[in-house]
Structure 1
């Protein structure tokens, strides 16, 4: 049985972004002898029930999560700059309390924080952090973003904030291997930060499709989302 578990996965419920259908995901996890897999769609938990039922049917442990959008200020602030400076944060339910808090956060994001995307803020996050495990996310996470901006001190401060909110053993720094030059730079800084601040690492793959042959279909989805065409060289 594989010891690796995908903890950063976007299904078709990450609208116009994720291209992974849930039943094929379970079949693939099963074929790799994985005993668990997560769902972490962007800002929503729409696929949770289908994911949960499909996982149990396949004999796989479902890890319920969400990749939340974190507002740069308060979720009540809704200006053009607030819609463009969103940070990503992966949250996973560790237990029933965590699942309830995740549902609360997802609901608040939709009903109170929605501005182009469903958003939460750090104040709301702190109120509903119990029972949740947090990952620092992709290049759009707060810590990776600050690293890319050359703001090492602020990145450390952000890491300490999340560690304080979620507690030791419930916040992990995320490293990925996706071939991007920026990612390699961030990975090295994350490794250094992990040792310096004693925050554990987690390896993820930010999955958006199952097979490499699906890359073109995924690009089409992104073009629909961004209003571009496949002929645009700078479409992403």
Structure 2
């Protein structure tokens, strides 16, 4: 059974990821892996670069991001008194084009409506 990394940060995970996409793909190929997921923090900024470079190398790109899930409403701009933190993490992966479009929508909501320290989404 093949192994695939499904939670990988790239240079687009600001202050957290140092992996450059070409270097990640070099390593994937060196290890004989055929797929890789990129799940940057709160965004899909590297999705296009990752997708096009992975396809050019015959590596199956799995697009996703690590969402910041707000405790309570994403619209509230303060820390909930009954929650241990402002947000938690949730890795989201796209299965197909529709899934990718849903991820784009969620990422946009996080930046446009839920931004409080991080681009947060909620269960709404």
CA contact (8 A) 1:27 1:58 kept: no
Deviation at 1:117? 0.2
Aligned to 2:28: 29
Name the counterpart of 2:102: 101
Runs of 4+ in 1 over 4 A off after TM superposition: none
Question: What is aligned with 2:75?
Answer: 76
Deviation per residue, 1:112-161 (Å, 9 max, x gap): 000110000011xxxxxxxxxxxxxxxxxxxxxxxxxxxxxxxxxxxxxx
Structure label with greater radius of gyration: 1
- Pick 1 or 2: higher relative contact order, CA cutoff 8 A, min separation 6: 2
In structure 1, stretches of 5+ residues that fail to align are: 124-236
The 5 Å alignment of 1:44-83 reads 44-81=43-80
Partner of 2:114: 113
Structure ranking higher in helix proportion: 1
Alignment TM-score, normalising by the size of structure 1: 0.50
Q: Which has the higher strand share?
A: 2
CA-to-partner distance for each residue in 1:32-82, whole Å, 9 max, x for gaps? 111100000000000001111110121100000000000000011111448
3-state SS in 1 of match to 2:40 = coil
